[in-house]
Amino acid sequence: MIKKAAVINDLSGFGKCSLTATIPILSVMGIQACPMPTAVLTNQTGYKNHYCIDLTNELRRYEEIWSVNGESFDGIYSGFFSDLNQVDIVFEFMQRFRNDNTIVLVDPVMGDEGNLYSMYSNECCKKICSLAKSADIITPNLTELCILTDTDFNELMSKSDDDCFPEIICDIAKKAVFHNSQKVVVTGIKSNGYIINATLSNGDFGFSRSKCYGGSFSGTGDIFASIVFASMLNGKSLVSASKKAARFIEKATKDTVKESYDRNDGINFEKFLYQLHE
């Protein structure tokens, strides 16, 4: 029986992120993606111009209809929220559809490069942090890790050139573990020309390292989390899942920078999707 996953995220026409990245990745990895869009955007918010249609009032319809239809899920993955009230709705959704075998991944989308995203308030971040506490897996970037653990981002980044920087990140990641079985992947750590992803599972640390091509790209966090999520649903370990995601993104970014690019457009991941097939 094919596994099913509820994927709660936005749908952006351009940017190769969120649902447009997650759906094909889960599909090629043998998981049925069941999208529950939090918003529909003309393009992701990094572009100079964008238009967002908030779907807060529709989320409960998804929850109710799916419940009436008797749907069940092997995994639940949440990402971007376009409204504060969506966090509470998704928490209720998880309580309704989660069982002992459901894998819940929360990508605590809140900010990047030390700054909150413009549409997020401190109150919204508190709610997202609360949601993250209930997850089996969380996939914060450095900014989000700092928010989750009340760590000063600028002070942390002042140590980024230290050889022991990954270990410093792991020590902070320990503070983001809210229950004994929770797993953490800190994504996109830039260090000496490489991208490092730090994993914490059952008290054990692991690292996946890939060469850094270009700068920051739209959607790489979504791609990474999607591969980790699908891999875990397929019974893989967190470390192997993280390494698989890192290798995939490295290939796609290397291909992307061969020609002129806009970081908002995302990376050329489509041509490499077949490599994710189990």
> In this structure, what CATH number is given to the domain that contains residue 136?
3.40.1190.20
What tokens were used for 17? 């992120």
Task: Look at residue 117 and tell me whether its pLDDT is greater than 90.
Answer: no
Task: Look at residue 194 and tell me whether its pLDDT is greater than 80.
Answer: yes
Distance (Å, whole) CA 79 – CA 71: 21
Average pLDDT, integer, range 139-162 = 91
Q: What local confidence, expressed as pLDDT, does residue 107 receive?
A: 97
Say what percent of the chain tops pLDDT 70: 100
Q: Provide the pLDDT confidence category of residue 278 given band limits of 50, 70 and 90.
A: low
Residue 251 is part of which domain span?
A: 3-276
Distance (Å, whole) CA 195 – CA 237: 20
Average pLDDT taken over every residue of the chain: 93
Q: What is the pTM assigned to this prediction?
A: 0.95
Other beta carbons within 10 angstroms of residue 29's beta carbon come to 21
Average pLDDT, integer, range 7-36 = 97
Cβ pair 139, 208 in contact under 8 A: no
Other beta carbons within 10 angstroms of residue 193's beta carbon come to 8
Burial of residue 211 (number of CB atoms within 10 Å: 0-12, 13-18, 19+): exposed
Task: Count up the domains in the chain and report the number.
Answer: 1
